[in-house]
Structure 1
């Protein structure tokens, strides 16, 4: 996936999960706050209308609208300064328009004025094909806005929308053509500031210090800050990763207790705190807004420097500190970055899925995982030796619990030299992997980008000789402290070095690896334990075995999905600490519906494999894992949707119900695709739980088929399982035979669960490929749409090109809410009948519901067919 997971040092690799941490617990004083961060302190202190820049020399060139941003002489501190002085140096602004409602705005120093160096621009994030979607501007229109003394410049953006460059005062915004209402606005409060690079003069002191570390800043401060407004917004979301609510809480403003801004800085944090704007592991400067009146919009700043973001609250007016009229309701935000350029993208939506698709068209979609990776993974720091691996694997079979992958952490290596094995503990790695593979299972071993500085270690010798390490300020190989001790770090920014590193994963170079071995690319925003602050990477981090951390894992994973990292999850049970049996069971029950499903634990914790907590608790954890395997056809279909469109696997409820205000701030429940609503249990000793079911739908309990009317909160029994509901109008594919791994499920038949809506209709999809190769890119897949209407189920082909071949059949069709009493079902074109069984009639919440089963229709999933109830 072309991703935007970066900060301070650009990521060379994107990974699904990461891992460990420094050995000391979280200490507030070890991390900078805004007042200790000069660029943040400066930006936060600026008053509205601080920006005095105006736009001049507006032209259309190379398909873009460009302008110079200058400071009028009456506002210049040194108006007589010559052309090399900062006061008179203009900035260059450009606006570019792309397909499907995307506006790109760039602001940088004027290269013709020969700045002392080129400012950093982030490489390798924007898709190469994105530029081909550029709409070449041919003209603009002039318009005077709000009685301004100067013209504004208007260009077409998308059907019903236009982009406006307001020259004095400077503002760039998107508005609706018909109403003139703004959607997104840059610098409406005049807080834009751009610190230009300078040549150091005698007496200049630009050094910045934190604890024992000093940043010399040879070209002076170079921060950028600006305000960004979202109109018609009730809430804003995004900018992961933070252990806090899905909707971003205001950090500053009238009537708000001022807190730290949301920090985007990839910190590797041991036992982080929940409900905090503190930055963790990954940084994606992409924010979405959503509101009932306008819908959804989005904003992305392509910037790799440390960033701080204030959310100023809905309707806040920065100058007068009063609420704006209701028709101008908006949420204002303040974006502050240490360096870089302004390279921003405005996404107009207006629907939630429109915004994530627009964003994905810029940065890319998530990769299609292999099928086994969507199953359950078992991990620990560390499984001790080959005997321990064999024992854990056999216990899964003994207790009839499916799983697909067993992971080995850093202790499996020879002295934490990656791509090696501890010969005493793992003397026969190939035989160990082949043994797992004989039961359809894989192994994952860890590889970290920090390399032990040991002249007897072949990778260190090669990297050092060829100059492949990141350098320090003096030009020497950077020497930091991580798991192996003294370590250096591969320069993943360099594509040639990335290629060299990738070659190390070949079977011929990674001795002891086999085709069933996979790699844990760990700590790829490299952690340095003796740095001023540590760096981490993307997953929900080194969490703790507490109910609060279980609760906060849900909005964290939802936020990652919204911003393009859909294949994410939390360490089941918490990485640190010892969960009691109840917490562990509840964690499994929620995590079974998350995209990435892995149990993991710190080496100081007690062993917590699912069979160690008594027969009853083992059953509940087994049930949760089995439900995941039952639903793998549905999950795999959703991963394909994410791969094609960018729409995440797990979704906030408002993404599916954008007009239902009760969903906007609900992050305890979530959707899996468009068909399943999951409500976790996050408190001890809960026998039941309340769950809001969105309006205008009927909801069917996944366990019983009981129907509930939407638009209200229901109290649901939850003693042994969490509530999960299927939405009316959907069809969900399942595989209901219990196996020990995904490989053994390959040829099993399918079950279709049809939940009809008030019109007696439903539809859904099923995607199938070989689950292991990239042949789907050549058309080798099955993609079917199932439509149920007027008592008839139809299978329609959605695939193009050469289909993947499969002899799998549909062995059962379950209809929820179908009220007629058919005697049989007729299958065409084979013209044969199938048995129909009517279940008990249920009445719940004033809805009459029945369960009807069509047994053994025996139609192939790859064929066109119809099944009509008679």
Structure 2
């Protein structure tokens, strides 16, 4: 669970908290700090199925802690080493081990755990990390004083351990940005022998929910700690919740919960737990002037009006394992986070196209008709999906022989048209003696006790991997990919629709300890199985509903069982922004809403939004009406087709952004603060977003809208309306008519966006189509640049150098000469493509061109035809015919 609160320096009475794994990130104005806390875990929706904080013993006990718990450092226990220090902290009840370790790239790790006398080991979900032991970095120097021990990092930052009361402060360039245990609310429940029967009433040894008893043979092992975000005005992150992007103050409200659950038809504006958990917070701050340590953290000093946000992280199990990332820029925190939990791999190109799904396309004839419908209506499509009813009695990796008598033929028909199939594989194993997966798991005693779901063991993961091999998953091919659903895991007759918390897994771990990583291990095994079946040659695609920190390394995710209403369309935007902020870039929401029947206006608007979100899939419930795009009025079908075609037109830009994510960790769908840190008023914007650094998107999100009001962020920026090329200065709002085909789409000045000149029906057919370069000049009209990435779109050959990464730059050389150059940005790439540039569109061209010439390999100038619109400062160069993977220069003389 997560609680968050806002306060001024003088008010320190209430702090927010987060249960389960927790990643917390704080950002300072032109400085960025991040903290990763790895703890243990932790129709209209039926709220009665799910716990509130008051119904969960550990949450209620932690929330009742209002006063400092009295921990202090045992001074003679401090042992300084070359990368940090180790010490012990204690209060009147307990002694704990503390370690502070400096890591590479301005990151600090703080670990608090039971000492050597503990009755039982505590679970740490280290699989969430790229390296179970991240690389350490030597400290520059330390200073030991009577009241504090100070560490100066190699990066010039400071970590200060306050001895009494125990606190850890973090400074960037002498500015305090974050503090652990600043309110003194550290609370740690140690394992005990069962002797205090009176504790039963508090839920320490056992508790009951919905007549299901949860036993705790070693007592409660919950933990909690508070973290201050000094100077912060907003907190973002902790997906997954159907909330606004900026998190609300929960000091007098139900806290945000991070416990992966199957929540049927979830509510919006709710802190309820959903399908996945990434306990990672980002706080934007304006603490860029003066020293704020005394003013904010010292209650005896009269404070200025300094804002502060606080997070209190509470987990039912595990240890307190915090990673603080100290920036100093927004770009830095994404790199630092990716160093810890990894990046999404470059997806196969088809995965960025449009996906058509339904629960369920009932048989092979149905699939054929849907496929032919897309072809007949000239609507681009890359993937058709099959839900659970395609299987033989819901046994995964099998086929219903009556409904799908020739699955290999069906797959081949799709492949002949350059399309793929995705089939569903949930973690639930059918209890049938002849079913090969159940038979093997039972024989090897790999099933979890007290549960019909499976245990998290390496052997069972290997069964999942091998089940995807062609000799096990028969009648499939390399053109079949996998969807992991219901992997919270969902257990309909279990507590809170999941596994009993006291169910046992491998090595004696209780389910309460590993719950949030259950889905993580399933999709990780699925990814490995897909990769193995192709001998590591074909990039896998896996979609997962449940996720955890690090899930981005092997899965895309979607926001689960949303509804066909305007509120769910609106909330899909902050939900996806939160996921991207927390390191998960390949995300989307079911277009049209999973439950219910959208009217035609809502469906069109959802397609227009989904076309500019990373994962683009139409999906619906079996009780909803069929909604293939051609089943509506002609105007609606035309608008949907246009939205999907826009997605395909921008595929060169999308593919490049996903490649760049693998290098930088930056999300593809971005909040404004990532690109416009100087524009404080736009930080909490969650009705608009950026696709990469260059494209602003504002879809219609209200029924019957007549105007699209778009806020253009940034200071001294210029924006260009995509369809009209009209220049708009920022910051400020602009209004445009909201016709059915309209979407607010703006190119940022100073950028270049590559798009396909002509859209074909699949990503494969588009792969080598000619490109149009849209160059939008900056406010001065003297510069713009952008990049484009190419490879074969499906294999791992790019890892061996078979790729191309090129940069296009527009530059004013002097008053009478402007140039456009194409340069190789990574000489390791050897991919040579025949993709050429069909047209160049220059927006904001405030010079008056007289001639244009292109210089190719022979350095002989060839004249180019162009048109210039003096009223709109628009220049269009026709047929320059330069190749994307070969150097050229274009001279524009004025």
Q: Indicate the TM-score class for this superposition, using the shorter chain for normalisation.
A: 0.7 to 0.9
The answer to whether structure 1 residue 544 and structure 2 residue 563 are counterparts is yes
Q: 1:27 aligns with which of 36, 46, 50?
A: 46
What is the CA distance between 1:777 and its match in structure 2?
Answer: 1.6
Determine helix, strand or coil for the equivalent of 1:739. Answer: coil
Whether contact under 8 Å (1:48, 1:319) holds in the other structure is no
Whether contact under 8 Å (2:259, 2:277) holds in the other structure is yes
5+ residue gaps, structure 1, are 1-5, 11-23, 77-86, 144-149, 253-257, 296-314, 473-477, 480-488, 843-848
Aligned residue number for residue 525 of structure 2 = none
Residues in 2 aligned to 1:605 and 1:9: alpha-carbon distance in whole angstroms: 36
Residues in 2 aligned to 1:158 and 1:184: alpha-carbon distance in whole angstroms: 19
Whether contact under 8 Å (1:781, 1:799) holds in the other structure is no
Whether contact under 8 Å (1:48, 1:318) holds in the other structure is no
The answer to whether structure 1 residue 722 and structure 2 residue 743 are counterparts is yes
TM-score (norm 2): 0.84
Residues in 2 aligned to 1:572 and 1:616: alpha-carbon distance in whole angstroms: 18
What is the CA distance between 1:317 and its match in structure 2?
Answer: 8.4
What is the CA distance between 1:37 and its match in structure 2?
Answer: 1.1
Whether contact under 8 Å (1:130, 1:362) holds in the other structure is no
Instruction: Mark the CA change 1:799 to 1:669 in structure 2 (over 3 Å): closer, same or farther.
Output: same
Aligned residue number for residue 373 of structure 1 = 351
Residues in 1 aligned to 2:703 and 2:356: alpha-carbon distance in whole angstroms: 25
The answer to whether structure 1 residue 513 and structure 2 residue 516 are counterparts is no
- Listed one character per residue, the Cα deviations across residues 13-69 of structure 1 (whole Å, up to 9, x for unaligned) are xxxxxxxxxxx6511121111111111111111123233333431112463301111
Determine helix, strand or coil for the equivalent of 1:549. Answer: helix
Whether contact under 8 Å (2:131, 2:340) holds in the other structure is no
The answer to whether structure 1 residue 494 and structure 2 residue 457 are counterparts is yes
Whether contact under 8 Å (2:21, 2:278) holds in the other structure is no
What is the CA distance between 1:471 and its match in structure 2?
Answer: 2.6
Aligned residue number for residue 814 of structure 1 = 841
The answer to whether structure 1 residue 175 and structure 2 residue 177 are counterparts is no
Residues in 2 aligned to 1:186 and 1:556: alpha-carbon distance in whole angstroms: 27
Aligned residue number for residue 272 of structure 1 = 266
Determine helix, strand or coil for the equivalent of 2:880. Answer: strand
The worse-fitting range, judged by mean Cα deviation, of 201-210 and 448-457 is 201-210
Whether contact under 8 Å (1:595, 1:650) holds in the other structure is yes
In the TM superposition, 1:507-586 aligns within 5 A as 507-535=470-498, 537-538=546-547, 539-586=558-605
What is the CA distance between 1:840 and its match in structure 2?
Answer: 3.5
Instruction: Mark the CA change 1:751 to 1:177 in structure 2 (over 3 Å): closer, same or farther.
Output: closer
Residues in 2 aligned to 1:202 and 1:317: alpha-carbon distance in whole angstroms: 37
Q: 2:869 aligns with which of 822, 840, 864?
A: 840
Whether contact under 8 Å (2:437, 2:463) holds in the other structure is no
Instruction: Mark the CA change 1:853 to 1:177 in structure 2 (over 3 Å): closer, same or farther.
Output: closer
Whether contact under 8 Å (1:60, 1:138) holds in the other structure is no
Determine helix, strand or coil for the equivalent of 1:763. Answer: strand
Residues in 1 aligned to 2:885 and 2:729: alpha-carbon distance in whole angstroms: 35
Aligned residue number for residue 248 of structure 1 = 247
Aligned residue number for residue 111 of structure 2 = 106
In the TM superposition, 1:61-80 aligns within 5 A as 61=81, 63-71=83-91, 76=92
Q: 2:636 aligns with which of 604, 607, 617?
A: 617
The answer to whether structure 1 residue 325 and structure 2 residue 304 are counterparts is yes
Residues in 2 aligned to 1:7 and 1:389: alpha-carbon distance in whole angstroms: 43
User: Relative contact order (alpha carbons < 8 A, sep ≥ 6): 1 or 2 greater?
Assistant: 2
Instruction: Mark the CA change 1:631 to 1:433 in structure 2 (over 3 Å): closer, same or farther.
Output: same
Determine helix, strand or coil for the equivalent of 1:131. Answer: coil
The worse-fitting range, judged by mean Cα deviation, of 622-631 and 823-832 is 823-832
The answer to whether structure 1 residue 392 and structure 2 residue 370 are counterparts is yes
Aligned residue number for residue 406 of structure 1 = 384
What is the CA distance between 1:524 and its match in structure 2?
Answer: 2.6
What is the CA distance between 1:564 and its match in structure 2?
Answer: 1.3
The worse-fitting range, judged by mean Cα deviation, of 591-600 and 270-279 is 270-279
Determine helix, strand or coil for the equivalent of 2:603. Answer: helix
Residues in 2 aligned to 1:767 and 1:138: alpha-carbon distance in whole angstroms: 40
Determine helix, strand or coil for the equivalent of 2:648. Answer: helix
Instruction: Mark the CA change 1:838 to 1:542 in structure 2 (over 3 Å): closer, same or farther.
Output: same
Whether contact under 8 Å (1:7, 1:283) holds in the other structure is no
RMSD: 2.1
What is the CA distance between 1:393 and its match in structure 2?
Answer: 0.8
Whether contact under 8 Å (1:107, 1:341) holds in the other structure is yes
Instruction: Mark the CA change 1:788 to 1:234 in structure 2 (over 3 Å): closer, same or farther.
Output: same
Aligned residue number for residue 538 of structure 2 = none
Residues in 1 aligned to 2:132 and 2:114: alpha-carbon distance in whole angstroms: 26
What is the CA distance between 1:537 and its match in structure 2?
Answer: 1.4
Aligned residue number for residue 212 of structure 2 = 213
Residues in 2 aligned to 1:820 and 1:129: alpha-carbon distance in whole angstroms: 56
Instruction: Mark the CA change 1:702 to 1:834 in structure 2 (over 3 Å): closer, same or farther.
Output: farther
Residues in 2 aligned to 1:725 and 1:623: alpha-carbon distance in whole angstroms: 17
Aligned residue number for residue 157 of structure 1 = 153
Aligned residue number for residue 288 of structure 1 = 282
Q: 1:699 aligns with which of 719, 736, 757?
A: 719
- Listed one character per residue, the Cα deviations across residues 324-344 of structure 1 (whole Å, up to 9, x for unaligned) are 423x43211222111110101
Determine helix, strand or coil for the equivalent of 2:635. Answer: helix
Residues in 2 aligned to 1:228 and 1:63: alpha-carbon distance in whole angstroms: 23
Residues in 1 aligned to 2:831 and 2:403: alpha-carbon distance in whole angstroms: 42
- Listed one character per residue, the Cα deviations across residues 699-719 of structure 1 (whole Å, up to 9, x for unaligned) are 111111111111111112221
Whether contact under 8 Å (1:271, 1:544) holds in the other structure is yes
- Listed one character per residue, the Cα deviations across residues 837-866 of structure 1 (whole Å, up to 9, x for unaligned) are 335344xxxxxx422111111111111211
The worse-fitting range, judged by mean Cα deviation, of 240-249 and 58-67 is 58-67
Residues in 1 aligned to 2:844 and 2:673: alpha-carbon distance in whole angstroms: 25
Residues in 2 aligned to 1:292 and 1:582: alpha-carbon distance in whole angstroms: 41
Whether contact under 8 Å (2:245, 2:578) holds in the other structure is yes
- Listed one character per residue, the Cα deviations across residues 118-149 of structure 1 (whole Å, up to 9, x for unaligned) are 111113121128633x1134752024xxxxxx
The answer to whether structure 1 residue 859 and structure 2 residue 882 are counterparts is yes
Aligned residue number for residue 40 of structure 2 = none
5+ residue gaps, structure 2, are 1-17, 23-42, 290-294, 499-544, 548-557, 813-817
Residues in 1 aligned to 2:728 and 2:20: alpha-carbon distance in whole angstroms: 49
Whether contact under 8 Å (1:94, 1:106) holds in the other structure is yes
Aligned residue number for residue 359 of structure 1 = 337
Whether contact under 8 Å (2:20, 2:279) holds in the other structure is no
What is the CA distance between 1:91 and its match in structure 2?
Answer: 0.7
The answer to whether structure 1 residue 746 and structure 2 residue 746 are counterparts is no
Residues in 2 aligned to 1:590 and 1:582: alpha-carbon distance in whole angstroms: 13
Instruction: Mark the CA change 1:203 to 1:163 in structure 2 (over 3 Å): closer, same or farther.
Output: same
Aligned residue number for residue 868 of structure 1 = 891
Determine helix, strand or coil for the equivalent of 2:711. Answer: strand
Whether contact under 8 Å (1:784, 1:796) holds in the other structure is yes
- Listed one character per residue, the Cα deviations across residues 156-204 of structure 1 (whole Å, up to 9, x for unaligned) are 23534211111111000101344xx311100111111111111122636
Whether contact under 8 Å (1:348, 1:355) holds in the other structure is yes
Residues in 2 aligned to 1:223 and 1:7: alpha-carbon distance in whole angstroms: 9
Determine helix, strand or coil for the equivalent of 1:764. Answer: strand
Whether contact under 8 Å (2:240, 2:575) holds in the other structure is yes
In the TM superposition, 1:25-174 aligns within 5 A as 25-56=44-75, 57-61=77-81, 63-71=83-91, 76=92, 87=93, 89-111=94-116, 113=117, 115-128=118-131, 131-132=134-135, 134-137=136-139, 139-143=141-145, 150-174=146-170
Determine helix, strand or coil for the equivalent of 1:751. Answer: strand
The answer to whether structure 1 residue 797 and structure 2 residue 820 are counterparts is no
Residues in 2 aligned to 1:742 and 1:622: alpha-carbon distance in whole angstroms: 15
Instruction: Mark the CA change 1:125 to 1:821 in structure 2 (over 3 Å): closer, same or farther.
Output: same
Moved over 4 A (4+): 6-10, 315-320
Residues in 2 aligned to 1:191 and 1:637: alpha-carbon distance in whole angstroms: 45
Residues in 2 aligned to 1:680 and 1:212: alpha-carbon distance in whole angstroms: 46
Residues in 2 aligned to 1:220 and 1:209: alpha-carbon distance in whole angstroms: 14
Aligned residue number for residue 84 of structure 1 = none
